[in-house]
Structure formats: structure tokens, C-alpha cells
Structure 1
Amino acid sequence: MSGDTEAANDEAVRRIAAVEPCLTGFEPADAALGLLAGELGHAGPPFASVDHIPPPVLNALAGAALHEGWACTPADAKRRIAKGEIRLRSNYALGTVSPMAGVIRPSQVLARIENAAGPGHVHATLAEAGRRALRFGVYDTNTAEGLAWLDHVLAPALAQALPPGGLPLLPIIAEAVSLGDDVHQRNVGGMYSLMRALDRLDAEARGWLLDNPQHALNYAMAAAKLALDAARGIAASSIVTAISRNGDVCGIQLAGTSARWFTAPAIIPEGAFFPTYGRENAQADLGDRAIMEAYGLGGAAAHIAPELARTMTLEWSEAAAVGHRMRDLFVASHPRLRPASAEPQGIGLGLDARKVVARNEPVRIHTGISHRDGATGWIGIGVAFAPVACFAAAIAALNAGARP
């Protein structure tokens, strides 16, 4: 690694570590993101064409169009998407992240996360409940009612419960990892920590959140994006600022190449499937949630989450070993996330694409698994990988003189 790259990466890590994410309020996506009528956001890199949109994402897009009143039937919504009458935009280009299909519509309410230590803000979606949800491609009466409840009941309740000045998120994430969360697939500790911080929350909202701990993930995702965004535009830096999948490809971005995506085919996850389902039913990996791995958590912190390893029927020795391998792909340790279980290395900060390529080590992603039919919903949890080919292409561009 050249001196220029080392200095650039040091600066990237310094900027990432300096960010103080704070949940400050809630606002609709049209105002928050500039998302217009007839536009929908989605997870992952942009699609090469509408023919590349997998069923879970296409069904989620069609459901969102129905929910917004832009179409009368799913077939009509899909026709409008195919003809370009409904414009699709990558969540990253909009300044947000969202799990699985990640579809965002103009009227939905988003959480605003600001940097309390300087400039910058991002937005988080409010995660739905259950295995049959829009993020897995399901849109029916129950889904529609759930989306309306998030917008009109939960968001106002959360806004009312926020402390003056907002809620700092790094302490929530730090407590979550100390309680054994990987802060991607397991978020039980994070939800308990969030509940303690929101002590004015009403009973209905509190009960719903405790029943749906994955809801805490979305705030952590936005916090990670806000921090990693601070490293964008640093020439020569090989620090990863994004990892995301759209069900067709997996893509990454680097600090030194700004918003340019480097992609390879998304893989089908391995994992623990719910009864009657198996890998043959699984959709290739999708969602913006791998921002957590880019931030040093999720699959990059497998060595701090023994309960998750048990859930995925993985021997603890194997989970710990792969977690330590992932940690070695980072250039520094996080100064604020230091659970005893991660000593002496701590949690990684600054995922280095050059190390990924040099070691030929794909980045482990803890992920949810959607049925590939786009109608059944969530069918398991497991492990996917960000292919080395993504990182190799990014480093080739950086070596060729790509500029931010």
C-alpha cells in the first residue's frame, strides 16, 4: 500500500469515527429525500434494466405503487414500471438505506438521523413486522394496514418520545454489541437499549417494538451510512463506504471513487431456513443492510454474537474464527464499540478493499432470506458474501487513477 493510500485511509477512518449519529425526528419521504410522485426508491445499485428486477423487488415496487394510489392492480403497476412511467431510484442516490427490497414511496414517514458533531444527515425507514411484509415482496390487506400503522401511529409515538435534542445512537449500538448483537441479524439487545432510552413511549408502541426487535436495525443502518458517508471523496482511499445488493447484483463503493458502483452477481445465501423451505426457494441476496458489514458489524463481527451462531446452527468455534478473519480486513478498531467479547482486536473500523483483494477473502454478510417467488415472504436467516470481484474491480479503478 502506497503512502498516499495509507494517509488517505487514515483520514477516512478519522472522519468515520468522528461522526455522532443522532435520531432527531420524523418526516415524509417526499420532503426528506425529494422523492416525487411517480418515483420509488429501492435497495442496492441501480438495475441494468427492468428485466433484471427479481420478483421480490418487483412485487414490492408494485405494492408501493398500489399503496400510493398510482395503479389499480398489481399487473397495472408492473406495466407502468416496465414502461418507465414509474421511475426507480437507488436508495443510496437518495441518501437513505432500507432492508431487503428496500422500497421507499413518497408518502411514507422516515426517521431523520443527523450528525451531532458536524454536517451531514441521512434517513431511515421504519421496519415492518412479520414474515409477510413489503420488504419481502408481499402486499395485501394486512401489509397495507401495517404500513399505515407505521406512518400514522408508530412514527408520531416515537417522535413524541424522543428526548429533547434527539437520541444519540452510538450508545445504543455500543450496548447492543455488549449484549451479543451483531447489529444486523440479531438486534434484541439494541431494542432493549432503545426502549430504555425512549422511556416516554406509550404502551402500544412499546409492546409492538419489543415484539419486533429487528425494527432497531434500521436506525443502526442509517447511523452506519451517516458515518461512512463522511469518508466519501477522499482521493486514493480504498476504504469501503457502501455494500448493497438488489437481488441481481452485489455492489460496493469506495471513499476514493465516490458514488461509482462496482458489481458482481449476487449470491444465494446459505443458512437456517424456516420449516418446509430450503436453499432452492431462496432469492439471491438483496438489501441495503450490508452497510452494517461495511461499518464493522454484522458478519464482520461474528465473533461477538454466540446466540446468533446457535440460531444459524453454526459451531461457535467456526463463527469466532470467521469473525476474526473479517476483523483483519479493517485498518483500525472502533473507539466506541469495544465489547469484552471482541478483545483484544475490538470491532473493526475502515473496511479496506485492498486487504479483501490481497487475501482473496469475500466479506461475510449476515442476512435475511426472501423466497424467490416474491409472494411467500421471509423464509430464513443465513450468510451471504460480497464477492471479491466487486473489490477487485474497485481497486483496479482506483489504481487507474479514478477520482472522487
Structure 2
Amino acid sequence: MSNENPNAIAFSRMNAVRPVWTGMRRLSSLPGLSGRIILHAGPKFRDFSSIPVPVRNSLISIILREKWAENVESAEMLVQDGSISVEPAQEYNVYVPLAGAAGPSTMLIEVRDEAGDGAAYSPLNEGMELCTRLGILHPDLPAHLEWLDGVLAPWIDGLLTERPLPLGPVLREAIAQQDDCHSCTVAGSRLLAAALLDRDGGRSNTSAIEAFLDGAPAFALNVWMAMCGLVARAAAGVPGSTLVVNAGGNGVQFGFRLAGDASRWHVNPAPRIHGTVEPRFAGAEGLPALGDSAIVDVMGLGGQLLDQAVPVREALAAHLPAGITERPRKFLSGTLDLFGRLAATDCSAVLGSSIGPVILLGMIDRLGERGRVGGGCVVTTGPDWAPGYAR
């Protein structure tokens, strides 16, 4: 019997993953997701009353997109009376940003391990205006979601199904261009768009697609979310391992799971975001930690990449803890070949030092009226990663 440390075994499994973007897959095709179900970020909500308004708005938008209701009022009633099942996306290896939501018709980015088994998913980034992740009700949003699922997703799928796109080289180039791969994904988005358009080679009429991609500087984020989720979950099932394999917030609670007991969620109050509200949104209040994109930071990108992503570090300087560039060494497990960087949060190390990952997040208006009102970071400490309510 091997005496190797459980975390070393878990990390080696992560390090063996070679993620490739294999295409697009409809959410309803995943096991357990064929009925009237909508996925959201973070841990499960206790009941309807606990769902923040921005997330409710996104659930309603998905219901209208699915044509399960004809208007906002009847859509909200379907959620309130339990006619629609509302579930955490990460239970199904799906990763949803901020206040976003995904329904059966939603086309998902599919990232698989070229070197082994496993897949993880995320909805396409919706752009910068009509977005479920912003938590705003907009009459044009359902039609935009249909365009993403009916036009953009099939175009992408046709380019990748026969020849999947390796993500490691794109990721490392994006890092070299000072993306943090969470709050700043401009280089990665440009690189992924260029790779897709190059494969198309001018065979399709892509004017609308190109216009969308040109205006979607966060396009890469959802790809990185699925990629990081895939790598993290490779460690699941190693007895005794304290590496984090799931993490996310729902605006009320923050939840995480560990490799050694990957079916068990630990849930604590969502930590607040340290950030700046934009002047045009003066007086707005943002929700606490929200979104499955926390998996990017927990894996070692985002807030753990600020020694490299200098512009992001400078922009957030007023809100970052001291020693931000050295902080990741306190809790990350080792150098991951995919990143060429330290990666993988060890919960036991966080608890031992009370120093945890810095998570970069947008601030979503608590009232669900103004969308993203600013940006900042969550500075996690030991209590955020202490074992909490488990189910």
C-alpha cells in the first residue's frame, strides 16, 4: 500500500489532465437534466424566499426563453410554487457565472480531458449587455439566448467536433499577455475567437458572429471556468485529500467541496466583496460572493495570478491584502503543468494559516435593476473555508 500523501495523489491527478474544447452540448442531454430544471451558481438555495432578486430575474429569463410561461408574473409563480426545479450547476459539472442561469435548451461549452475521462461544462458567455449573469430582466434577453443557442453554438460546434481545441497553449499565451483569466480575459477571448475564425476560414457568413465576439471581452471566462472545473474534479475521490474541487457563491452562501469527500458541500455565509461601485451607480449595493467562477481563483488563476497580471493588481490595489503576490504560496499545492504556475487550493493549509484565495468578482446590484455596478475581490480567510453545514 502506498504511503504517499493524499494531497500529492490528488494533485497528480489534476496535473495529468489535458483539457480540450470538444464542442457544444445541450444541457438537456446531460444525465438528470431533461425535465423542467434550471441551474444556478453556488450552493442550493434553502427556498424561494432566499433567492436574491438578480438570480430570480435570471431564472425568469430562462423560463421565458424555454417558453414555459408567457410573462414575467407567471414565470415567477412557476419558481415560487416549485413547478420548476432550481438546482446548483456544479452538482452536474456545470459552472455558471455570477447571477446567471441555464435551462434545458442552453448550449454548453464542453471541455474534456484528452488524456483520460471526464468533462465539464459552462454556458457561452452572453456578451456585455443582454446577460443572465447580470441579473436584470430585459425583454430582449430571451431572444438573445435563443441566438446564442441556435446560431453561435452550432457554428462553434461544427468547428470543434472533428478537431477539438487544446486549451493549454491558449491559456498560457493569455497569461503571458497579462490576463488574470477571471476579471481580465481580453487576451484569452481574442485568442479563442481568432482560433475559431481561423478554422472557419471564411466558409461561413460570420458577420454577426464576429460582431458579437468583438464585443465580448469576457468570452474566454466561461471556457476557463469549465477547464478549471474539469481539472479540479479530477482529484475527487482521493480519501483524505483536502484539495478543493468545487467552490462557488449564490449571493447568500458560499460553498465548497473537498477531494476526499467530494459529494459533501460545506456551506458558510457568502463573504462580502471589497470593491468600488462605479460613480454612475452611486448608492447601489452589491451582493456578497456570487458565481461559480470562484473555481478559477481556487485553482490558482484570477486573484492568485496578480504577480503576472500587473494592470489588474494596480487597478485593485486599494482593495487587495498586503503581500498579494506572495499570498498564494501559503495554500496552493504545487506547479500545474497546464498553467505553468502554482495551483490547487489546499483547505487544510488555509485553515492552518487563516489565509485563503483572493477571488476576483463583479458586484451585482442587490435590487436586480442595474446589473454589474462595480468590481472588486473577496479576501477569504480560514472561517470562509471552515467545515460548515454539509449535505
Q: TM-score, normalised by structure 2?
A: 0.92
Distance 1:132 1:381, change over 3 A: farther
Q: Deviations over 1:122-153 (max 9, x none)?
A: 22210112245211222323322321221122
* Structure 1 stretch displaced more, 102-111 or 318-327: 318-327
Q: Deviations over 1:190-221 (max 9, x none)?
A: 11221332213434323321321211110111
SS at match of 1:47: coil
Matched, 1:248 2:252: yes
Q: Deviations over 1:57-78 (max 9, x none)?
A: 1111112112211122222222
Q: CA separation in 2, counterparts of 1:319 and 1:267?
A: 15
Structure 1 equivalent of residue 383 of structure 2: 389
Distance 1:222 1:123, change over 3 A: same
Residues 65 and 143, structure 2, Cα contact 8 Å, conserved in 1: no
Residues 262 and 390, structure 1, Cα contact 8 Å, conserved in 2: no
Specify which of 124, 130, 133 is matched with residue 131 of structure 2.
133
Structure 2 equivalent of residue 205 of structure 1: 209
The one-letter code of the counterpart of 1:139 is L
Structure 2 equivalent of residue 341 of structure 1: none
The one-letter code of the counterpart of 1:275 is P
Residues 243 and 250, structure 1, Cα contact 8 Å, conserved in 2: yes
Structure 1 equivalent of residue 203 of structure 2: none
Q: Deviations over 1:226-252 (max 9, x none)?
A: 111110011110111111000110111
Per-residue deviation, 1:267: 2.4
Specify which of 346, 349, 353 is matched with residue 352 of structure 1.
346
The one-letter code of the counterpart of 2:269 is P
Structure 2 equivalent of residue 169 of structure 1: 167
Specify which of 94, 97, 100 is matched with residue 96 of structure 1.
94
Residues 302 and 320, structure 1, Cα contact 8 Å, conserved in 2: no
Q: CA separation in 2, counterparts of 1:272 and 1:242?
A: 27
* Structure 1 stretch displaced more, 18-27 or 380-389: 380-389
1:61-100 matches, cutoff 5 A: 61-100=59-98
Q: CA separation in 2, counterparts of 1:127 and 1:237?
A: 33
Structure 2 equivalent of residue 190 of structure 1: 188
* Structure 1 stretch displaced more, 351-360 or 263-272: 263-272
Q: CA separation in 2, counterparts of 1:386 and 1:311?
A: 19
SS at match of 1:26: strand
Structure 2 equivalent of residue 231 of structure 1: 235
Structure 2 equivalent of residue 18 of structure 1: 16
Q: CA separation in 2, counterparts of 1:328 and 1:279?
A: 36
Structure 2 equivalent of residue 295 of structure 1: 299
SS at match of 1:258: strand
Residues 58 and 136, structure 2, Cα contact 8 Å, conserved in 1: yes
Structure 1 equivalent of residue 372 of structure 2: 378
The one-letter code of the counterpart of 1:200 is R
Where structure 2 has 5 or more consecutive residues not aligned to the other structure, the ranges are 201-205
SS at match of 1:251: strand
Residues 247 and 283, structure 1, Cα contact 8 Å, conserved in 2: yes
Identity across aligned pairs (percent)?
30
Pairwise CA RMSD: 2.3
Per-residue deviation, 1:359: 0.8
Distance 1:379 1:83, change over 3 A: same
Residues 100 and 135, structure 2, Cα contact 8 Å, conserved in 1: no
Q: CA separation in 2, counterparts of 1:67 and 1:130?
A: 18
Residues 370 and 377, structure 1, Cα contact 8 Å, conserved in 2: yes
1:276-291 matches, cutoff 5 A: 276-278=280-282, 280-291=284-295
Aligned residues: 384
Matched, 1:326 2:328: yes
The one-letter code of the counterpart of 2:337 is P
Residues 365 and 373, structure 2, Cα contact 8 Å, conserved in 1: yes
Per-residue deviation, 1:291: 0.5
Q: CA separation in 2, counterparts of 1:203 and 1:178?
A: 29
Q: CA separation in 1, counterparts of 2:92 and 2:282?
A: 34
Q: CA separation in 1, counterparts of 2:232 and 2:101?
A: 22
Distance 1:310 1:203, change over 3 A: farther
Q: CA separation in 2, counterparts of 1:246 and 1:388?
A: 19
Q: Deviations over 1:47-96 (max 9, x none)?
A: 12222111111111112112211122222222221221111111011221
The one-letter code of the counterpart of 1:128 is E
Residues 14 and 232, structure 2, Cα contact 8 Å, conserved in 1: yes
Per-residue deviation, 1:323: 3.0
Structure 2 equivalent of residue 344 of structure 1: none
Per-residue deviation, 1:33: 4.8
SS at match of 1:233: coil
Q: CA separation in 2, counterparts of 1:324 and 1:387?
A: 15
SS at match of 2:69: coil
Structure 2 equivalent of residue 111 of structure 1: 109
Q: Deviations over 1:159-193 (max 9, x none)?
A: 23338421011211111111111111100111122
Residues 21 and 226, structure 1, Cα contact 8 Å, conserved in 2: yes
Residues 330 and 355, structure 2, Cα contact 8 Å, conserved in 1: no
